[in-house]
Amino acid sequence: MKKLYTLIAAVVITSAVFAQAPSKMSFQAVVRDAGDVLVTSQAVGMQLSIVQDSVSGTVVYVETQTPTSNPNGLISVEIGSGTVLSGTFNSIDWSSGPYFIKTETDPTGGTTYTITGTSQLMSVPYALHANTAGSIIGGKTDSTDIDAMGFVAGGKTDSTDIAAMGFVAGSATTLTIGQSYQGGKIFWLDASGQHGLIAATADQSIGIQWHNGSNTTTNAVRDGIGAGEFNTERIIANQGSGVYAAEICANYQGGNYGDWYLPSKYELNLLYLQKTVVGGFAGNYYWSSNEYDNYDAWDQDFTNGGGQGLNCKPSPAFVRAVRTF
């Protein structure tokens, strides 16, 4: 059986904002097989549903699509442009949330869906609902303001849309993946487009051990956005001062920022997916901050395969520090 590792919904879902109801949302996911190997350049069958109130709530819209994964295992679809099975996307009342996206997937490209996952829509429904909000500030703003918040704008929208998303009209700074920013390069942005993850512009090591010579349990097991910072602190608290992966990341001060850390598995994979735009990576293995047990930790191959696996803590691997903003 194959597994679908969807990216956090608030990260990858964008909307087309129009004067009327939005016509589509973009959704991305990374597909891996049971051996944690990326499913690349292959047709994938998907059934996508919008579910209201809870993960087991009322299904208000269903469609099917057959996207093809790219060389990094990434699939991209626009919900609202597939083959509709039930409901009308444009008639969804986003003010009546919460809403969830349910994905059913057949990695072979058919309709025998063997993988099911559900992710809650976070800020996006509120952004879509902003078109119905009451007038807050007069005046107009162009699509640049919307793009800066992680949304793809179509045409004009008034300042009500911006204010309803928690921003002052015209004040957002446009940030993009690959942009030089705060001591490094951005490789991930959240739904607001104003917060995310930054990678150092060069490796902190081209071969260093994960631990400080002690095969102990560090409890560095958290995963996800920002989890690497917790893991790094746990590793250093357990291993003490020395020259090893977590310590050199914590001591890095690129851009005069002192909050760099060794990325979690999840963050490391996001970094791998953007390795070309960030630049400077070797075709080698990079440490994550995730521990497996006393003797092993997780790393990722930054060659074309991009697979994650276990490596002995004393083994040398490359290191690239990251930080949140």
Q: What percent of the chain has pLDDT over 70?
A: 75
Please, what's the largest Cα pairwise distance for the chain? Answer: 62
150 falls within a domain: no
Domain boundary among 116, 132, 148: 132
Domain boundary among 132, 156, 176: 132
Our CA angle for 5, 78, 129, nearest 5°, is: 100
Per the structure, the complete domain to which residue 296 belongs is given by 199-324
Q: What is the pTM of this model?
A: 0.51
106, 212: one domain: no
Q: What's the burial of 46, exposed, middle or buried (CB within 10 Å: 0-12/13-18/19+)? A: buried
Percent helix, strand, coil in the chain (nearest 5)?
A: 20, 35, 45
122, 236: one domain: no
185 falls within a domain: no
127, 224: one domain: no
The helix or strand, by DSSP H or E, that contains position 2, with its residue range, turns out to be none
22 falls within a domain: yes
212, 103: one domain: no
307 falls within a domain: yes
With a cut of 60, say whether residue 56 has pLDDT above it. yes
13, 125: one domain: yes
With a cut of 50, say whether residue 174 has pLDDT above it. yes
37 falls within a domain: yes
Strand duo 152-153 + 14-17: pairing: parallel
Nearest CA among 313, 245, 277 for reference residue 178: 277
**Mean pLDDT along residues 170-182:** 77
**Mean pLDDT along residues 142-150:** 31
Domain tally, the chain = 2
267 falls within a domain: yes
- CATH number for the domain spanning 30: value is 2.60.40
Q: What's the burial of 241, exposed, middle or buried (CB within 10 Å: 0-12/13-18/19+)? A: exposed
7, 127: one domain: yes
Alpha carbon distance 279, 205 (integer Å): 15
pLDDT digits (tens, 9 = 90+) for 1-42: 444 444 333 334 444 333 344 467 877 777 776 666 777 888
Domain boundary among 109, 132, 155: 132
Alpha carbon distance 25, 246 (integer Å): 38
12, 126: one domain: yes
308 falls within a domain: yes
Write down the pLDDT at residue 108.
84
312 falls within a domain: yes
